[in-house]
């Protein structure tokens, strides 16, 4: 919340009651602020600033929508030095009609303090303590209570605070005061969370005349992919995550991110992945606004990728082709749509096989090694309840109704009993049952038993399934199971779980 | 002189036209047949005269069954064929399904694949959100030279998969050498440009050793409704032995009478239109 100069001249204050403000200015127009809209607009605005530096964050703790932080380490020389960069960033914001203050300092705390309580400018590493000492304590991003307590004690400047003994201060004002102090002076590192995915290496292309059609963007992307590929090749690196940033003229950023199954720097592959992703984007919401004036392609998750050499005895088993295919499919359909089976050592059928994204390079698919049992070719994700009748309660199933269809079962094999995995259920198994108190002998005081916690006993009957393979007269083969036992605590229910070939 | 010239011109003209027409017809016939069907004629299939042929890759096959409950059987038939298509360079199978159909059809189950005789690591499951995406995936996968076969579950007769789309797929299939199996459910036969169309029904399973009451190895009853495998028979009863199909004699105890006559693509017209088969 802030006041502009006009409001200050009129005598308005922050935190003033609305009635007082109306009394001062009878013609005051009052509007309710749309917090969600402003917050999202500010966030998009922050993203746009990544055209100055790739690491842009928003400090959420003090201002209602946050303060913009840019990590400009190693960036300033691109804009002709720190002073010129500050002028450029502030100047273009002022040109848009905002009143802004900004500062460049070695620490986030110092830059915040200088921009809020000092003049816009640059603090070099050597002037850091001098500049901070002069600022009021509120510049340390403390909360209201801490500030008022410090003011009562007469500690108004940060310099005064710094010379006090630390332990009593920490006891009185909390650890956050010491933390902020150390962060501002650079004794403790303060981290910011970048809003956009960080790209370790990136290439970009600026446009004098903004482009807008998706086809132009993709053509640019292909050129950038070539550049990026050369950049990565020169350093012997390959990337797994790729991000395409589109900077719009109206200060918004569109991001397109994708992951490859294995390290790559193949320009054609990267470009084709983005093309597939863009087809999906086009259907949904590709909105270039008034045009795009900067396109940036970045690579993340870099690692060494030695140039491959085609050997004479190289075995080409097509694994690379398959990976590229799954990459392409996943880039358009989404990673959760392209799946591989992972076998898990478990007896519970639905747990024994997991479908994992084909992107997630599973090290080795372990074979469950359960050869003896027949398993269905198709498994229903949710077992479906069926009505089953048998000649005798524990006999083989004789008739079944599934999806409103009757089946007369002529062959059946089973049961294969699969018990609940007690070590996975949240219940704890009591290995030694509690002692029962003996009835006291007449004339003897009852013996006190040692205390045993009343753990719930694991009931092996509840989660137990009996599986049958059944076949009807026409040759349909199904996998059905009965949950529970006849004569058990719960009435047994039959389910159909799978279909055999 | 003048007369002679003009008369020769008038006689040459229709001949030229006829030749050209014949050439055009040949071209069209070539386009129609090519490449898979023409190739199929030329290629000698393995297997005995009555046995189930070992079909090569590059065929678009419709596997029609009457109801969804036969889904396991048709998936088994398709995967059984894919298994014969594996080469050291083509080791992957793609299974395509609409994401919304998973509960209705069931998903391929890893341990079940291994007990069928297929390594689950070779199977990639793609769950598309709509038919357009599914067809795109099919085409994209056909272009990949490491895929041995693609199996797609098609419920009903989707509008997107009309004759044009199916023709497109059949051409792609033929030039890629990957086989594409469209598993269709229901009694009606939508227009399709598939090279082969099977009607599949499950069959009572074989005998399990030491247990007569238990279901044994899987069996299918198959009818070739369209296309030609170069065999005399059009109906088979197959049993899955764990790594290959075994052709069984039918219920009468002897192998089916082979249909005599030249193989043509439409079975009914072949039987009706060929007088020799009826006299002989």
Please write the tens of the pLDDT for every residue from B9-38.
444 566 788 899 988 888 877 666 555 454
* Partner B contacted by A321 (CB < 8 A): yes
Quote the minimal CA–CA distance from A393 to chain B in Å. Answer: 18
Does the distance separating the beta carbons of A375 and B136 come in below 8 Å? no
Does the distance separating the beta carbons of A396 and B99 come in below 8 Å? no
A180 and A268, same structural domain?
no
Residues in chain B with CB shorter than 8 Å from the CB of A333 are 126-129, 133, 137
Residue B37: the pLDDT is 52
Chosen domain end from A322, A347, A371: A371
Residue B259: the pLDDT is 42
A214 and A225, same structural domain?
yes
Q: C-alpha A435: how far from its chain's center?
A: 51
Residue B7: the pLDDT is 40
A279, A325, A351, A408: best mutation site toward chain B, by most B Cβ within 10 Å? A325
Domain count, chain A: 5
Residues in chain A with CB shorter than 8 Å from the CB of B118 are none
Residue B199: the pLDDT is 93
Q: How many pairs of residues across A and B have Cβ atoms under 8 Å apart? A: 195
The phi, psi pair for B196, rounded to 5°, reads -130, 140
Does the distance separating the beta carbons of B208 and A413 come in below 8 Å? yes
Instruction: Compute CA distances B219 → A272, B79, B232, whole Å.
Output: 44, 14, 21
| Residue among B79, B141, B202 minimizing CB distance to A325 | B141
Q: Is the pLDDT of residue B277 over 60?
A: no
Does the distance separating the beta carbons of B121 and A501 come in below 8 Å? no
* Partner B contacted by A130 (CB < 8 A): no
The pLDDT-based confidence of B94 (bands split at 50, 70, 90) is very high
A273 lies in which domain range? Answer: 202-304
Residues in chain B with CB shorter than 8 Å from the CB of A331 are none
Does the distance separating the beta carbons of B215 and A471 come in below 8 Å? yes
Q: Is residue A191 part of a domain?
A: no
Residue of A nearest to B132 (CA): A333
| Residue among B75, B128, B218 minimizing CB distance to A378 | B75
A44 and A128, same structural domain?
yes
Q: Which residues contact A234 (CB under 8 A, 6 or more apart)?
A: none
Does the distance separating the beta carbons of B110 and A342 come in below 8 Å? yes
Local structure of B152: helix, strand or coil:
strand
Does the distance separating the beta carbons of A340 and B125 come in below 8 Å? yes
Residues in chain A with CB shorter than 8 Å from the CB of B75 are 377-378, 501
Residue of B nearest to A374 (CA): B115
Q: Is residue A286 part of a domain?
A: yes
Structure tokens at B169: 């797929």
Going by DSSP bridges, is the β-strand pair A121-122/A103-104 parallel, antiparallel, or unpaired?
Answer: parallel
Residue B250: the pLDDT is 67
Q: Is the pLDDT of residue B260 over 50?
A: no
* Residues in A 411-430 with any Cβ partner in B closer than 8 A: 411-413
Does the distance separating the beta carbons of B145 and A377 come in below 8 Å? no
The conformation of residue A192, written as its DSSP 8-state character, comes to: -
Quote the minimal CA–CA distance from A403 to chain B in Å. Answer: 9
Residue of A nearest to B86 (CA): A317
Residues in chain B with CB shorter than 8 Å from the CB of A378 are 71-72, 75, 105-109, 112
pLDDT in tens, B145-160: 899 999 999 987 888 8
Q: What is the 3-state secondary structure (H, E, C) of B198-228?
A: EEEEEECCCEECCEEEEECCCEEEEEEEECC
ipTM of the prediction: 0.77
Q: Is residue A314 part of a domain?
A: no
Structure tokens at A288: 């270039």
| Residue among A341, A368, A473 minimizing CB distance to B123 | A341
Look at phi and psi of residue A293 and say left if phi exceeds 0, alpha if psi is from -120 to 50, else beta: alpha
A76 and A24, same structural domain?
no
Structure tokens at A296: 């940036």
A218 and A152, same structural domain?
no
| Residue among A332, A377, A403 minimizing CB distance to B75 | A377
* Residues in A 368-407 with any Cβ partner in B closer than 8 A: 368, 370-371, 373-382, 396, 402-403, 405
Residues in chain A with CB shorter than 8 Å from the CB of B111 are 343, 349, 352-353, 368, 370, 373, 375
Instruction: Compute CA distances B151 → A37, A74, B123, B154, whole Å.
Output: 48, 53, 10, 10
* Residues in A 32-91 with any Cβ partner in B closer than 8 A: none
Q: Is residue A311 part of a domain?
A: no
A56 and A14, same structural domain?
no
A41 and A19, same structural domain?
no
Half-sphere exposure of B198 (CA within 13 A, CB side): 28
Residue A203's DSSP bridge partners are A297
The pLDDT-based confidence of B273 (bands split at 50, 70, 90) is very low
* Residues in B 66-105 with any Cβ partner in A closer than 8 A: 69-73, 75-77, 79, 88-92, 99, 102-103, 105
A355 and A399, same structural domain?
no
CATH number at residue A256: 3.30.1490.100
Does the distance separating the beta carbons of B115 and A325 come in below 8 Å? no
Quote the minimal CA–CA distance from A355 to chain B in Å. Answer: 8
Residue of B nearest to A350 (CA): B109
Q: How far apart are CA A347 and CA A375, in angstroms?
A: 12
| Residue located via tokens 């396991």 | B72
Residue of A nearest to B207 (CA): A411
Task: Tell me if B239 sits within 8 A of B249, measured CB to CB.
Answer: no
Percent of chain A exceeding pLDDT 70 equals 86
Identify the structural domains of chain B with CATH numbers, from first to last: 52-251 (3.40.50.300)
* Residues in A 453-472 with any Cβ partner in B closer than 8 A: 469-471
Chosen domain end from A160, A185, A210: A185
Quote the minimal CA–CA distance from B231 to chain A in Å. Answer: 25
Quote the minimal CA–CA distance from B244 to chain A in Å. Answer: 14
Q: How far apart are CA A231 and CA A225, in angstroms?
A: 10
Does the distance separating the beta carbons of A477 and B123 come in below 8 Å? no
Q: Is residue A387 part of a domain?
A: yes
Q: Which helix (H) or strand (E) holds B179?
A: strand B179-185
| Residue among A321, A402, A413 minimizing CB distance to B215 | A413
A106 and A17, same structural domain?
no
Q: Which regions in chain A score pLDDT beneath 50? A: 363, 430
The phi, psi pair for A484, rounded to 5°, reads 95, 170
Q: Is residue A323 part of a domain?
A: no
Instruction: Compute CA distances B40 → A150, A180, B45, B151, B265, whole Å.
Output: 92, 79, 8, 21, 12
| Residue among A321, A353, A477 minimizing CB distance to B205 | A477
Residue B62: the pLDDT is 92
* Partner B contacted by A325 (CB < 8 A): yes
A218 and A164, same structural domain?
no
Residue of B nearest to A501 (CA): B73
Does the distance separating the beta carbons of B77 and A378 come in below 8 Å? no
Q: Is residue A195 part of a domain?
A: no
Chosen domain end from A346, A371, A396: A371
Q: Is residue A460 part of a domain?
A: yes
A272 and A217, same structural domain?
yes
Q: Taking chain B, what is the end-to-end CA distance rounded to the nearest angstrom?
A: 59
* Partner A contacted by B211 (CB < 8 A): yes
The pLDDT-based confidence of B264 (bands split at 50, 70, 90) is very low
A63 and A181, same structural domain?
yes
B67, B114, B132: best mutation site toward chain A, by most A Cβ within 10 Å? B114
Structure tokens at B187: 């009694």
Going by DSSP bridges, is the β-strand pair B92-98/B123-128 parallel, antiparallel, or unpaired?
Answer: parallel
Does the distance separating the beta carbons of A337 and B99 come in below 8 Å? yes
Residues in chain A with CB shorter than 8 Å from the CB of B127 are 333, 337, 339
């Amino acid at each position: 919340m802030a006041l502009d100069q006009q409001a200050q001249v009129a005598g308005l204050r922050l935190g003033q009651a609305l009635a007082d403000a109306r009394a001062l200015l009878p013609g005051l127009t009052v509007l309710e602020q749309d917090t969600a809209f402003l917050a999202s607009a500010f966030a998009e605005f922050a993203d746009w600033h990544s055209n100055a530096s790739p690491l842009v964050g928003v400090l959420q703790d003090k201002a209602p929508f946050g303060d913009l932080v840019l990590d400009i380490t190693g960036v300033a020389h691109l804009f002709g030095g720190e002073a010129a960069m500050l002028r450029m960033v502030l100047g273009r914001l002022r040109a848009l009609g905002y009143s802004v203050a900004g500062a460049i300092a070695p620490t986030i705390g110092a830059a915040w303090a200088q921009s809020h309580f000092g003049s816009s400018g640059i603090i070099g590493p050597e002037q850091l303590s001098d500049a901070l000492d002069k600022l009021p304590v509120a510049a340390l991003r403390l909360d209201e209570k801490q500030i008022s307590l410090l003011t009562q004690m007469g500690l108004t400047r940060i310099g005064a605070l710094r010379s006090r003994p630390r332990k009593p201060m920490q006891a009185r004002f909390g650890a956050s005061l010491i933390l902020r102090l150390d962060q501002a002076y650079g004794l403790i590192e303060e981290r910011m969370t970048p809003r956009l995915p960080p790209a370790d290496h990136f290439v970009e292309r600026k446009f004098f005349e903004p482009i807008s059609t998706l086809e132009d963007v993709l053509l640019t992307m292909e050129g950038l992919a070539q550049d990026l590929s050369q950049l990565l090749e020169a350093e012997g690196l390959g990337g797994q995550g790729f991000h395409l940033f589109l900077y719009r003229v109206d200060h918004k950023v569109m991001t397109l991110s994708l992951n490859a199954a294995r390290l790559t720097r193949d320009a054609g592959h990267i470009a084709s992945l983005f093309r597939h992703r863009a087809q999906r984007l086009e259907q949904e919401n590709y909105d270039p606004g008034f045009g795009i004036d900067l396109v940036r392609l970045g690579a993340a998750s870099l690692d060494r990728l030695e140039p491959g050499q085609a050997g004479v005895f190289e075995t080409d088993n097509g694994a690379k082709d398959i990976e590229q295919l799954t990459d392409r499919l996943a880039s358009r359909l989404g990673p959760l749509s392209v799946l591989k089976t992972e076998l898990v050592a478990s007896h519970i059928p639905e747990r024994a096989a997991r479908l994992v994204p084909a992107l997630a390079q599973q090290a080795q698919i372990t074979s469950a090694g359960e050869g003896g049992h027949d398993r269905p070719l198709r498994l229903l994700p949710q077992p479906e309840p069926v009505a089953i009748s048998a000649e005798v309660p524990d006999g083989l199933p004789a008739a079944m109704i599934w999806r409103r269809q009757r089946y007369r079962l002529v062959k059946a094999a089973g049961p294969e009993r699969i018990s609940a995995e007690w070590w996975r259920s949240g219940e704890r198994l009591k290995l030694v049952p509690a002692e029962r108190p003996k009835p006291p002998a007449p004339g003897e005081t009852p013996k006190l038993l040692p205390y045993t916690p009343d753990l719930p006993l694991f009931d092996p009957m509840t989660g137990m399934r009996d599986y049958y393979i059944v076949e009807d007269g026409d040759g349909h083969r199904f996998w059905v199971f009965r949950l529970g036992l006849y004569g058990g605590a719960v009435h047994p229910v039959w389910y159909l779980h799978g279909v055999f070939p | 002189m003048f007369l002679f010239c003009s008369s020769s011109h008038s006689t040459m003209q229709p001949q030229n036209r006829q030749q050209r027409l014949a050439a055009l017809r040949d071209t069209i016939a070539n386009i129609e047949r090519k490449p898979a069907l023409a190739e199929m004629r030329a290629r000698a299939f393995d297997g005995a005269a009555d046995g189930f042929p070992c079909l090569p890759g590059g065929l678009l096959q419709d596997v029609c069954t009457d109801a969804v409950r036969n889904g396991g059987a048709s998936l088994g038939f398709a995967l059984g064929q894919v298994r014969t298509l594996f080469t050291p360079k083509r080791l992957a199978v793609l299974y395509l399904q609409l994401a919304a159909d998973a509960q209705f059809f069931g998903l391929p189950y890893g341990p079940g694949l291994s007990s069928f005789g297929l390594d689950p690591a070779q199977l990639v499951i793609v769950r598309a959100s709509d038919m357009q995406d599914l067809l795109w995936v099919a085409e994209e996968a056909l272009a990949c030279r490491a895929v041995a076969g693609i199996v797609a579950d098609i419920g009903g007769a989707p509008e997107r998969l009309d004759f044009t789309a199916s023709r497109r797929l059949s051409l792609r299939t033929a030039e890629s050498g990957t086989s594409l199996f469209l598993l269709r459910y229901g009694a009606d036969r939508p227009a399709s440009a598939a090279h082969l169309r099977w009607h599949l029904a499950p069959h009572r399973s074989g005998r399990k050793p030491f247990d007569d009451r238990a279901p044994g190895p899987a069996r299918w009853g198959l009818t070739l409704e369209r296309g030609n495998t170069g065999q005399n028979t059009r109906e088979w009863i197959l049993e899955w032995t764990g790594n290959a199909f075994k052709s069984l004699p039918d219920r009468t105890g002897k192998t089916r009478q082979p249909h005599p006559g030249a193989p043509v693509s439409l079975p009914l017209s072949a039987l009706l239109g060929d007088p020799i088969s009826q006299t002989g």
